[in-house]
Amino acid sequence: MIGTIVNTATIITGSVIGSVVKRGIREEYQGALFNAMGLSAFMLGVNAVVSHMGDSRYPVLFIASLAIGSLIGTILDLDGRFKKLTGHFSSSNLGEGLSTAILLFCIGTLSIVGPIESAVNGNHTYLFTNATLDFVSSMVLASTYGIGIAAAGLVLFCWQGSIYLGASFLAGFLSDALMAEISIVGGVLIATSGLSILKIKDCKTMNMLPSLLVPAAWFLIVDALPV
């Protein structure tokens, strides 16, 4: 799990550095960072969707995934529960930044395939690359939202650790086709986080998280059907 440990450490370190830098940033500059972070998240999401749309085996699956997942998340009120949880630790809009950080750090090919490569083949390249990207992202996020962004590192550790432990099963299940569908849905979620940061539209991204499970459920059903 050395790759996951390094990845987690870089997020926490980047968050500490970013939060220290934040203290010397004037309010108008913090506003500029908000805009930069929002635009970056939006474009990263759009890029993920566009890059994987051509690989989709079921072009309308992401629409069904977003609809079903958003409905489930709204019924469970995931967004409200998450904001209440983060509200106990901060009076600022940490919840908005933390939800964006979790999506950026956890929902991506490197963060999903990396633990499997690490467990099965002893190859930590994916996770070390992901750690470098997350280090920079965590610094920017923490300079905007504060030290609370470090909590995303703990979420990532649990996420990648679970994948690492279940690598023998997941290696065969996470096909390229499934990863393409998950990446499309994940890209939409990251883009909606960007819209929320930019104050264009509060899409309640946390309510949409169950959408990521729908493609996996669909592939399980398809694989179970007789040929």
- Of 137 and 69, the structure prediction assigns the larger pLDDT to 69
Is 62 a residue whose pLDDT tops 90? yes
Is 176 a residue whose pLDDT tops 80? yes
For position 79, what pLDDT does the model report?
A: 84
Range(s) of the domain holding residue 193 = 2-224
As a whole number of angstroms, the distance between CA 168 and CA 195 comes to 37
The total number of structural domains in the chain stands at 1
8 A C-beta contact, residue 6 and residue 127? yes
Q: What is the pTM of this model?
A: 0.77
As a whole number of angstroms, the distance between CA 116 and CA 171 comes to 6
* Residue matched to tokens 């929002």: 38
pLDDT tens digits, 196-217: 878 898 888 889 989 989 998 9
For position 72, what pLDDT does the model report?
A: 96
For position 173, what pLDDT does the model report?
A: 78
For position 88, what pLDDT does the model report?
A: 61
pLDDT tens digits, 72-99: 999 999 888 887 776 665 556 777 788 8
> Which amino acid is it at 180?
A
For position 86, what pLDDT does the model report?
A: 66
As a whole number of angstroms, the distance between CA 136 and CA 150 comes to 13
8 A C-beta contact, residue 6 and residue 114? no
Q: What are the respective helix, strand and coil percentages of the chain, to the nearest 5?
A: 85, 0, 15
Q: What is the dihedral of CA 43, 45, 46, 48, to 10 degrees?
A: 120
Q: What is the DSSP letter of 116?
A: H
8 A C-beta contact, residue 72 and residue 131? no
Which is nearest to 42 in space by CA: 126, 108, 116, 104? 104
- Measuring CA to CA, how many Å separate 88 from each of 16, 31, 84, 93, 203? 20, 24, 7, 12, 22
Q: What is the mean pLDDT of residues 174-192?
A: 87
For position 10, what pLDDT does the model report?
A: 95
Is 32 a residue whose pLDDT tops 90? no
Q: What is the DSSP letter of 208?
A: G
Chain centroid to Cα 129, Å, comes to 16
pLDDT tens digits, 99-151: 888 888 987 777 887 898 888 788 898 899 889 888 988 988 888 888 889 99
As a whole number of angstroms, the distance between CA 86 and CA 227 comes to 48
How would residue 159 be classed by pLDDT, with cut points 50, 70 and 90?
very high
8 A C-beta contact, residue 112 and residue 163? yes
For position 64, what pLDDT does the model report?
A: 96
For position 34, what pLDDT does the model report?
A: 76
For position 28, what pLDDT does the model report?
A: 74
Q: What is the mean pLDDT of residues 216-221?
A: 92
Is 183 a residue whose pLDDT tops 90? no
As a whole number of angstroms, the distance between CA 59 and CA 181 comes to 9
For position 87, what pLDDT does the model report?
A: 65
For position 90, what pLDDT does the model report?
A: 58
How would residue 24 be classed by pLDDT, with cut points 50, 70 and 90?
low
The dihedral region occupied by 211, where left means phi > 0, alpha psi between -120 and 50, and beta the remainder, is: alpha
